[in-house]
Structure 1
Amino acid sequence: MLTILSRSLTFVLLALAFAVLVLLNNTFLKDTRLDLTEQQIYSLSAGSKAIVADIDEPVNLYFFYSDKASTGMTQLRNYANRVYSLLEEYASTADGKIILHKVDPEPFSEAEDQADEFGLTAASIGAAGDAIYLGLAGRNAYDEQAVVAFFDLQQERFLEYEISKLLHKLSDPKPVHVTVITDLPVNGGQNPMSGRFDPAWVLFTQLEQLYEVETLGNDAQSIPEETDVLMLVAPKGYSEALLVAIDQYVLAGGKAMLFLDPVAESDPMAMFAPPAAENPLASLLAAWGVSFDPNAVLLDAQNGLEIRTQNGVERHLGYVGLTGDSLDVDDITTAGLQVINGASFGVLNKQQGAESSFTPLLQSSVHAATIDAPRYGQLRDVAELARAFDDQQQRYTLAARIHGKANSAFTSIPEGVEWQSPWLSKGAAINLIVVADTDLLTDRFWGSQANFFGQNVFTPFANNGDFVTNAVENLGGSNALISVRGRGTYARPFEVVQALTVKAEQSFRAQEQRLQDELAQTEQQLAGLQAQQAEGGALILSPEQQAAVDQFLDKKIEIRKELREVRHQLDKDIEILGMWLKVLNIAVAPVLLVSILWLLSRMMRRRAGRKAK
């Protein structure tokens, strides 16, 4: 009796202790979090924390999520919880500067009208075609707004970046100023070859719609103070004063995007001038940790584009379309892009001994090689260019992100150059994107023009414009925002089930293929018999012919039935495999753990009893 009372008292005390611990946790530790995920996906990176720390005035965040309308959509609901948990982490880190609101925009409600006013996107994926919202809207103390129209599950790696970008816009809403230095006719003008007036390049027209863009010629002597992103396109003939200005701008933390090219086919005057023997930015690039050979042109046998020539459609090894693993899926500038087209790409390499990091964004295939720029210019025939190709079985970097420490290209201020600002001999954190091509900026490599009722309509067939816009938007943010990289995903694949699924599919595919072949043969024999009947003009089949037809029809039905059974068995076996693994993880593992704990407790009791005796 005493033992029973002792056990009952123990359970009561445990229940009380549990209740007290829960109460203490909810009262004193409600803001304490422990992220045990592999890639810390529920925690903020140092860059995001810096952005939150820079918020001066309170920011209201409205998380619009169609909770009721998404009932039964397990994947979407899990992702919505993931997004909201991360938003709570932002609010917790902001120490009251971020006010988080969760809104369910039910159909025909004021909340739905509010979502529409913010400009959020609704996806019609509900069971009854209801509008599903999963977006974020923010408003600062000055009523300036920024939104994430819809959180795409396919872009989960950049979830933190999207939220941090929105907060950065609200805390620093001034427009991004882009300074372009080039002599190429990016803004249109009279073509010296044809004499006609060419329109502005579509890519730069789009940039002007998004940012404040100022274009200067290669004869510029300085960089405007308000510059947020410096874009150098086909640099040549730079004065020493401009080189000094670029050098000091980058070392001071200025962001830049460089478009170099061994053969700038987009330059209307290129045919009158030989390819550059030297790179005007060679000394600056070397100091930043990059090397670029102006005499090397990339040829890519795998990614070469097909073009129409006098001999028909041929593959041009110098005109390259980058797809798949040629694009870095972990960088915000190239993630999600499908294809980037260009011509006569150059090659980039990391400078030996450089302190800065060198991250490839665009790469060739493994079936690539380089050719001298003068020879490339002479080989106008596509077939001759193909014959000159010598596969080096090597991947080349065509665009790269440069970040980190770098030195000045000048030991001191050059004579004759006036410099009033403090001289920097070293930069702590330079931020550059270098692209070894300028032709990808031209219209013909990423879109087509068509006249639609008197209006020119540009239809893109490549992502060149997206790549440049993403890069400018990324560089236009703060250093903290640029440092926010892609993270992991909350959904972990059931790798064991996937492996067993592949194995099961392999075992059934052979049988399925055999049945498919038998079915095809049977249908072919039946068609042949029917064709003989048509040729003979017989309306009534002989008993032998009818028996053969019936036999073929029965066999056809039997094969189809067996084929359905094979496919059903495949799905059934995969489901059974998954079910058993779930049982092992959900039921067997906890029971095994409890059993081990129970055995340990009994062993400890016996040991205590022996010591008491």
Structure 2
Amino acid sequence: MRTIQHYFKQAPGRILLGLAMIFVLAVAFGDHAFRSWRWDMTEDQLYSLSPATETLVSQIQEPMILHFYYSRDLARDLPQIRSYAERVQTLLQRYAAISKGKLKLEVVNPEPFSKAEDEAVQFGLQGVEVDNSGRKLYLGLAVTNSVDKTQTIPFLRASQEPFLEYDIGRIIDELSNRQAPVMGLMSGLPMEGQFNFQTRQPPQPWAILSQWRDRYRVKDLTAAANADVKPDVLVLVAPQYLDQATLDKADQWVKAGTPTLVVVDPKAEMAGPQPPKAGADAVHQLLAGWGVQYDPGQVVGDLNLAMKIGLRDGSTQRHPALLRLETPEMASQAPVNRDLEQLVLSTAGAFSVNDQGQPNAFEPLLSTTPEAALQPISIYADEDPTQALDQFQAGGQTQVLAAQYHGHVPGHEDQGLNLILVGDSDFLSDRLWARYQQFYGQTVLTPWSDNGSWLSNAVDQLAGGSALMDLRGQGRHQRPFVVVDQLQRQAEQQFSQKAEELKAQLADTEQRLQALQQERQQTQQMTLSPQQEKEVQRFIERRSDIRQALRQVQHQLDRQIDTLGAWLKFINIGLVPLLLILAYLFWAWRRRHSVRHQLAGHRSTGQRQAGGQS
């Protein structure tokens, strides 16, 4: 009996010691033993891979190496880049974990002027200068397969994080020993770019064309050298600016079942002064032969979606035909619209099915609100939209700006069609979805709308790349830290007050120095007087005091944020184990109390029995 009591008397201490040992072992070996076990509790599943990615990785036939170059030391004082790099590395570790050995991750810290930096440059990765020392920070990915074929992401920018899983998936798909599909391009617009005579800049291809070239073997089917090319997918852009022979050839490809992206436009603003060749009527007849109704003389306007433009007099005005489409205007079940937030179109046309088409094969992808209207193209001859606004009358009917059509050639049920129709060719141009910016000395393309993603999705779907198109975009990782933001706002107010005080001191001192200077000129003094020297010295001392105060405010802000961070770390790391330990201690105490009560009951019963026997 005494042994049992002794055991339970020592139980809490033994349990505490055992839990401590389990915690230490879990920290020491858990990361290695349970590396593939993940529980992603972020709102947008930032650290998880989609089922499409898992399918894509499972189909890898040959080993690949993921070379992740990250200048960890240089990023130490750049918290945004450091945080993003850690998320990228975690995502790449997930790729390697589910690949069953087919993907190997190598993380390299390319120190300045090292062999590793030379390798990064050789891969084509881009370094950005973070200071004046000439050192460059690298944050890029190079993927190689067994035959030394390489695909890269030269610099991983946080603004592109929603597309990271797609970009990595695209690279893996291209390196999987599958030949890229052939995309036949028939374009009446200068998508290769034009020479800028004002800036003397050479031609630069449209960004969407560069994206397509990264994914497909793009062939210009208007060139005689590509006359015998058989495309896997066809892209037809602004056909009114192509000759009739080219349109006839496109018609043959479409009726033969070639998946085709058809981009038409009542008013192709990017065409410039070039005159049409085949003309608008030829485009109307071309689409009518496929069962599609399209009027090249009418433009879609919608005041509910209209964007504002700047006029020559400096004022702004809504443009009825410059449309910003958001989620409600995108068909939610259409894969091409997945994870998109905003699209921009300008002077677009509308589609429907004609009398010979099949309505059940016509699926709207992008639409207006019911208050849209079809307006004659003539009222948009001027850049000023005032006339279009004055004559605007809502039609009470939704207009279809883009659609998917899986009908058959009228009169030929054995000839199936696979079309995606878009009513605006300017939709492809850089001006409606992307701009070039300088980033640490590098010129980078920064999308501000999702036109490029939509167009890439459309061609991927037509080319049969369902696995790639099913890759969901990673969510935006930015989340507001309310307490931290409040601390920063308070500090900014203090900084503002100190800055105003410093400005006032500067203004007052400059006025005094100016007055003293005028006095010196009047007395023809060549050096500063003792009074001037005293004023200057007083200003220097006062400026030093204010700067010291500014530093103290900043240090106080840092201490408050560090304290908050320490508490958050304690809650995330230590609180749960502590609660578990307390729960076990409470359980042990309850059990000990229960056993003691049972022992007391047994002792009392034994005493009663002994008394009865006596």
User: 2:198 is matched with which residue?
Assistant: none
Q: Residues 77 and 560 from structure 1, CA distance in 2 versus in 1: closer, same or farther, beyond 3 angstroms?
A: closer
Letter in 1 for 2:523: L
Q: Alpha-carbon deviation of 1:138? A: 2.0
2:127/2:137 contact within 8 Å kept: yes
Match of 2:410 in 1: 414
Q: 1:479 aligns with which of 466, 491, 498?
A: 466
Shift of 1:111: 4.2
Match of 2:184 among 176, 179, 200: 179
Aligned mate of 1:585, from 568, 571, 587: 568
Give 1:494 deviation, angstroms.
2.6
Matches of 2:113 and 2:375, distance apart in 1: 65
SS in 2 for 1:538: helix
Encode CA deviations 1:102-127: one digit per residue, 9 max, x unaligned.
34445665544443332222334489
Summarize deviations over 1:466-488 as a string: whole Å, max 9, x none: 97699459835722222323313
Any residues of structure 2 matched to 1:461-500 within 5 Å, and which?
471=455, 475-476=459-460, 478-488=465-475, 492-500=479-487
Determine the structure 2 residue equivalent to 1:373: 376
Deviation, 1:256, is: 2.4
Note if contact 2:186-2:221 (Cα within 8 Å) is conserved in structure 1.
Answer: yes
Is the alpha carbon distance of 1:121 and 1:374 closer, same or farther for their aligned partners in structure 2, counting shifts above 3 Å?
Answer: closer
- Shift of residue 216, structure 1, vs aligned partner: 4.6
Residue by residue, what CA displacement relative to the aligned partner does 1:108-160 show, whole Å, maximum 9, x if unpaired?
65544443332222334489644443322222234322122232234333222
Q: Please state how far the C-alpha of 1:414 moved relative to its aligned partner.
A: 2.1
Task: Name which of 522, 529, 537 aligns with 1:538.
Answer: 522
The Cα of 1:167 is off from its aligned counterpart by 0.5
| Higher mean C-alpha deviation, range 594-603 or range 80-89 | 594-603
2:280 matched to 1:294? no
- TM-aligned CA deviation for residue 575 of structure 1: 3.0
Cα distance, 1:306–1:90 mapped onto 2, change above 3 Å = same
What's 1:144 paired with?
A: 149
Q: Which amino acid aligns with 1:495?
A: V
Q: Find the aligned partners of 1:200 and 1:575 in 2 and give their Cα distance.
A: 49
- The residue type equivalent to 1:436 in the other structure is D
Task: Identify the range of structure 1 (346-355 vs 53-62) with the bigger mean alpha-carbon deviation.
Answer: 346-355
Give SS of 2:298's match: coil
How big is the shift at 1:34? 2.6
Aligned to 1:598: 582
Q: Are 1:609 and 2:581 an aligned pair?
A: no
| Contact 1:298-1:346 at 8 Å conserved across structures | no
- Provide the rounded CA distance (Å) in 2 between the counterparts of 1:358 and 1:72: 45
Q: 1:35 to 1:355 in 2, by over 3 A?
A: farther
DSSP-derived class of the 2:66 partner: strand
> Do the aligned partners of 1:398 and 1:435 also contact (CA within 8 Å) in 2?
no
Equivalent in the alignment of 1:195: none
SS at match of 2:523: coil
Report the equivalent of 1:453.
Answer: none
Letter of the 2:149 counterpart:
E
Q: Secondary structure at the match of 1:581?
A: helix
Question: Under a length normalisation based on structure 1, what TM-score does the superposition of the two structures give?
Answer: 0.63
Equivalent position SS for 1:143: coil
Contact 2:236–2:261 under 8 Å retained in 1: yes
- Seen in structure 2, the aligned counterparts of structure 1 residues 347 and 104 have a Cα distance that, compared at 3 Å, is same
Deviation sequence 1:423-473 (CA, Å, 0-9, x none): 47xx8xx8x583624497599x999xxxxxxxxxxx999989x97699459
Provide the aligned length of Structure 1 versus Structure 2: 543
Identity %: 21
Counterpart residue identity of residue 168, structure 1: D
* 1:165 has 2:170 as partner: yes
Equivalent residue for 1:116, pick from 117, 121, 126: 121
Indicate whether 1:269 and 2:275 are aligned. Answer: yes
What is residue 103 of structure 2 aligned with on the other side?
A: 98
User: Which of 567, 575, 586 lines up with 2:558 in the alignment?
Assistant: 575
> Which residue matches 1:53?
58
The residue number in structure 1 matching 2:68 is 63
| Contact 1:261/1:438 (<8 A) preserved | no
| CA positional deviation for 1:514 | 5.8
> Contact 2:63–2:103 at 8 Å: present in 1 too?
yes
The structure number with the bigger radius of gyration is 2
Q: Does 1:33 align with 2:19?
A: no
Query: 2: CA distance between counterparts of 1:356 and 1:283?
Result: 18
Residues 291 and 348 in structure 1, CA contact (< 8 A), matched pair in contact too: yes
Structure 1 counterpart of 2:347: 345
Q: Distance in 2 between matches of 1:609 and 1:261?
A: 86
Q: Report 1:354-433 matches (<5 A).
A: 358=365, 372-376=375-379, 380=382, 385-386=385-386, 389=389, 408-410=406-408, 413-415=409-411, 417=412, 419=414, 423=416, 432=420
**Greater helix content:** 2
Deviations 1:470-514 (A, max 9, x none): 9459835722222323313556553321134225534764x4576
Match of 2:508 in 1: 522
Aligned partner of 1:456 in structure 2 is: none
1:214 to 217, 220, 225: 220
CA contact (8 A) 1:285 1:291 kept: no
In the alignment, what sits opposite 2:424? 436
